[in-house]
């Protein structure tokens, strides 16, 4: 049966994945109370009334279905899909009964480590260097991958923000790969990018402001992992460079990292839930998620993507990464990333923090 379905045209498989995602999300919205997937607002929430969560299950189901049906799959690709499903299951359990970091982080680290080994991501960074360099590159990939999975979860805090980031990163990576390596269009990995974007876009129909459902940890950690796995596979294939992926990640990586640093300097518990990310403060300042999510989409499309397209050259790529991260970090600071609502962003505020 599977062999017959894999003969379907790829666009039909993408459509099946998107439809699966939409149906799952629709069912979860209808049955959220019975499933125990209603998220009540608390002091640190960005919503004001109980709202269904766990909509990321639809993204997971749609992406996995398409990934299994797309031609060109292998034992390696099946292993990556299985790891993504395991991480999504962990996130779903965390949605029901929050797990402490001492439980979540080791499991996430093991899953990311296995993905590095399966894809050969270390070789893409370190090349034929010696064992010490290889070990260092593997450690950096592990820490970077683990941070990305978790920051993607942290950044899923207002309607549509994580969904648009996923769609834009996948479409951008697809465009860069297709323009630089036309043969990539025949690869399972390239079409998995399309499947991830399609399943996420179907979820966004219900999640754009004002959201009828939230993604939840199942969806956000799954998407964070899928992006990491796809990035490593594309690096190994030579479709994209590391600077290009760093640029595509800039909006989320800068906001999450600056917020973490400022909260640490303030002496706060950085593992505690909060709503002081730059995007959250901006949403409150501008009266809702819509202007912030649309602005993030516009920046990704009109600024981040063109710069990433130009960053394939290693020399310019590193310079572009530096400039992009300086600019996005500055934007996060101007928005007051890491500060509570009663504090206003400004040089005096940050100077006071540094003197503590």
Domain boundaries, position 271:
241-356
Q: Which residues pair with 38 in a beta bridge?
A: 52
Residue where a domain terminates, one of 209, 240, 271:
240
Residue 130 pLDDT > 80: no
Same domain, 277 and 204: no
Same domain, 196 and 281: no
The span from the first CA to the last CA of the chain, in angstroms, equals 65
Residue where a domain terminates, one of 177, 211, 240:
240
Same domain, 350 and 251: yes
Phi, psi (deg, nearest 5) at residue 39: -105, 110
Number of structural domains found in the chain: 2
Return the pLDDT at 94.
Answer: 86
Q: Rounded to a whole number, what is the largest CA-CA distance in the chain?
A: 66
Same domain, 214 and 277: no
Residue 53 pLDDT > 70: yes
Measured between alpha carbons, how far is residue 312 from residues 41, 246, 248, 303 in Å? 44, 12, 12, 16
Burial 97-123 (b: 16+ CB within 10 A, else e): eebeeeebeeebeebbbebbebbebbb
What is the distance between the alpha carbons of residues 292 and 278, in angstroms, rounded to a whole number? 10
Residue where a domain terminates, one of 180, 209, 240:
240
pLDDT tens digit sequence for 190-211: 999 999 999 999 999 999 999 9
Same domain, 262 and 313: yes
Give the confidence band of 1 by pLDDT, cuts at 50, 70, 90. Answer: very low
pTM of the full structure: 0.93
Same domain, 197 and 286: no
Same domain, 128 and 234: yes
Same domain, 170 and 255: no
pLDDT tens digit sequence for 212-230: 999 999 999 999 999 999 9
Same domain, 265 and 286: yes
Same domain, 301 and 223: no
- 3-state secondary structure (DSSP) of residue 213: coil
What is the distance between the alpha carbons of residues 32 and 25, in angstroms, rounded to a whole number? 10
Same domain, 207 and 329: no
CA 24, 29, 30, 31 torsion: positive or negative? positive
Same domain, 109 and 171: yes
């Amino acid at each position: 049966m599977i062999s017959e379905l894999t003969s379907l045209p790829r666009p039909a498989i993408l459509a099946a994945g998107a439809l699966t995602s939409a149906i799952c999300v629709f069912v979860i919205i209808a049955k959220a109370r019975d499933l125990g997937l209603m998220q009540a607002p608390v002091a640190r929430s960005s919503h004001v009334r109980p709202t269904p969560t766990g909509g990321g299950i639809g993204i997971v189901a749609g992406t996995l279905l398409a990934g299994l049906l797309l031609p060109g799959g292998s034992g390696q690709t099946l292993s990556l899909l299985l790891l993504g499903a395991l991480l999504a299951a962990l996130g779903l359990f965390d949605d029901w009964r929050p797990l402490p970091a001492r439980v979540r982080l080791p499991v996430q680290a093991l899953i990311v480590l296995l993905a590095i080994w399966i894809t050969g991501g270390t070789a893409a960074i370190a090349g034929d260097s010696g064992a010490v360099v290889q070990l260092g590159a593997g450690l950096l990939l592990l820490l970077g991958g683990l941070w990305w999975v978790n920051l993607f979860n942290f950044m899923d805090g207002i309607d549509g923000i994580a969904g648009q980031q996923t769609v834009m990163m996948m479409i951008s990576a697809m465009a860069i790969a297709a323009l630089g390596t036309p043969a990539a269009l025949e690869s399972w990995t390239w079409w998995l990018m399309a499947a991830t974007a399609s399943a996420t876009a179907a979820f966004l129909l219900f999640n754009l402001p004002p959201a009828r459902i939230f993604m939840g940890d199942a969806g956000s950690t799954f998407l964070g992992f899928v992006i990491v796995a796809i990035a490593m596979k594309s690096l190994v294939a030579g479709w994209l460079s590391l600077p290009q992926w760093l640029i595509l990640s800039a909006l989320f990586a800068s906001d999450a990292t600056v917020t973490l640093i400022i909260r640490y300097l303030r002496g706060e518990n950085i593992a505690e839930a909060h709503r002081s990310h730059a995007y959250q403060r901006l949403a409150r300042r501008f009266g809702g998620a819509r202007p912030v999510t649309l602005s993030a989409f516009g920046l990704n499309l009109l600024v981040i993507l063109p710069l990433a397209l130009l960053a394939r050259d290693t020399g310019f790529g590193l310079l572009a990464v530096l400039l992009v991260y300086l600019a996005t970090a500055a934007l996060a600071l101007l928005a007051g990333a890491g500060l509570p609502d009663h504090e206003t962003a400004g040089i005096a505020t940050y100077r006071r923090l540094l003197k503590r």
